[in-house]
A and B are shown apart, each in its own frame.
Chain A
Amino acid sequence: MPRLSADARHNVRLEINGRAHEAEAEPRMLLTDFLRHRLGLTGTHVGCEHGVCGACTVQIDGAPARACLTLAVQADGASIRTVEGLAPEPGRLSVLQEAFRRHHALQCGFCTAGILMSLDWYLREKPDPSEAELREFLSGHICRCTGYVPIVAAALDAARRLRETGESK
């Protein structure tokens, strides 16, 4: 049982969007700061830093979770997906991202990465959600710009397209 001391940096290895990454972190470093400052993956945003706003949501071992409520050392060995992993290839957006653009489901974009990571998971779990279910699911995210209506519309549209094409992205 190794004890990682507070004032030293320790190696953290994890898989992000299918690629192995490795960098150093003190025990108190949050996964948000690790992603952004150590690995330069600034797509994951930081709002409240106490779990309420949802901006930092990523997928950890296959489920959406707050990166700001996870320590980097805790995530050692985990598999993580971030917003950088959503687009299937450079220059092409995922079905969900495309729907966000079509419906103007973002304005400042601060909340968007987190909402996309949550919805990307949810639409795979539940391909045909009702509007009420989507709204309940989105209660884990705060958006100060859009009023949520275009976000719900984009999610419903993306769900329909994903069902029709049978695509997973």
Chain B
Amino acid sequence: MKPAPFDYVRAGSLAETHDVLASEGGEAAVLAGGQSLVPLLSMRMARPKVLVDIMHVDELASLRVDGDAIYVGARLRQAELLGWPELAKHQPLLAHALPWVGHWQTRARGTVCGSVALADPSAELPLVLAALGGHVILSSRGAHRRVPADEFFQGIMSTARNDDELIEAVSFPCRRNGEGYAFREFARRHGDFAIVACAAIATEKSVRLAVGGVADRPVVRDFPEVSDEALGDFAAGLEARDDLHATASYRRMLVCKLGAETIAEAQACRA
């Protein structure tokens, strides 16, 4: 359980980060909180030639409300976002979901953007980003683009990010008047990755349900009319997986039950 050798660069600026990523291509890995990357290195499931540590880049430290979205820079740790006193006011869904991301001890180091970069199909933050229709802001030497969440997540740990690109920030739409938000998750123990996680957004006219842990990426569906039947059809159509923790049919059953509860909660807190 020791990583294979790699070089280490502590980047001091955005430009330096872009330079390493441009010159090393796929051989470089961005090191953020290290809560997923370091275990992957230790298990030798990742063997990059160089790590570029972005946690000392001042340009990446921002957390701000920008128009109608919360802009979260790449250096921002999960615990910092959770500890932001304005969080629940600006986006309750994030405030509900963040305590489910790992443990206090991993949130103290892990970043919001790192979780989005990893794109684990069971992870809470990609699910919330997809549910809200947020964006991923990518940059490389001389280039910059904004990718919508539904285009960014492309499969199990697979995203639209190119090798030379850094996730500079992610942006989560702020709460809108008249919407209700709820998040629920089923896991073996608190802090484990979800077996099934549900995020719901209720508006006056319809309900949106987003489901994680089932398919290879977050799945978002809008329901004009909510019924057991509609939820059942949705669950049946999901490309669910069997794994060590649960069978595909158990996951589908959880989507129906947890989904209905999450939707009911979102409707009840619509204000």
Binding site for B on A (CB under 8 A): 1-7, 26-28, 30, 49-51, 54, 57, 60, 63-66, 68-71, 73-74, 76, 118, 122, 136-137, 139-140
Known: A50-B43, A118-B105. A3 touches B7 (CB 8 A): yes
Question: Which of B8, B35, B43, B79 counts the most A-chain CB atoms under 10 A from its CB?
Answer: B8
**B185 nearest CB across to chain A (Å):** 13
CB neighbours of A54 from chain B (8 A) = 103, 105
Q: Which of B23-38 contact A (CB under 8 A)?
A: 31, 34-35, 38
CB neighbours of A30 from chain B (8 A) = 2-3, 38, 42
Asked if B250 CB lies within 8 Å of chain A CBs, one says: no
| Partner pick for B191 among A5, A49, A76, A140, CB 8 A cutoff | A140
Q: Is the CB of B5 within 8 A of A27?
A: yes
Interface bin, chain B: 35 or more
CB neighbours of A57 from chain B (8 A) = 105
Known: A64-B104, A64-B105. A136 touches B5 (CB 8 A): no
Asked if B197 CB lies within 8 Å of chain A CBs, one says: no
Binding site for A on B (CB under 8 A): 1-12, 16, 31, 34-35, 38-39, 41-43, 49-51, 53, 55, 79, 102-106, 108-109, 189-191
Q: Is the CB of A139 within 8 A of B9?
A: no
Q: Is the CB of B6 within 8 A of A6?
A: yes
Known: A26-B5, A30-B42, A50-B39. A118 touches B34 (CB 8 A): no
Question: Which of A4, A28, A50, A137 counts the most B-chain CB atoms under 10 A from its CB?
Answer: A28
A68 to B43, CA, bound (A): 12
Q: Is the CB of A69 within 8 A of B34?
A: yes
A28 to B49, CA, bound (A): 11
Known: A1-B16, A70-B34. A50 touches B1 (CB 8 A): yes
| Partner pick for A51 among B39, B49, B50, B104, CB 8 A cutoff | B39
A26 to B4, CA, bound (A): 11
Q: Is the CB of B106 within 8 A of A66?
A: yes
Known: A69-B34, A70-B38. A139 touches B190 (CB 8 A): yes
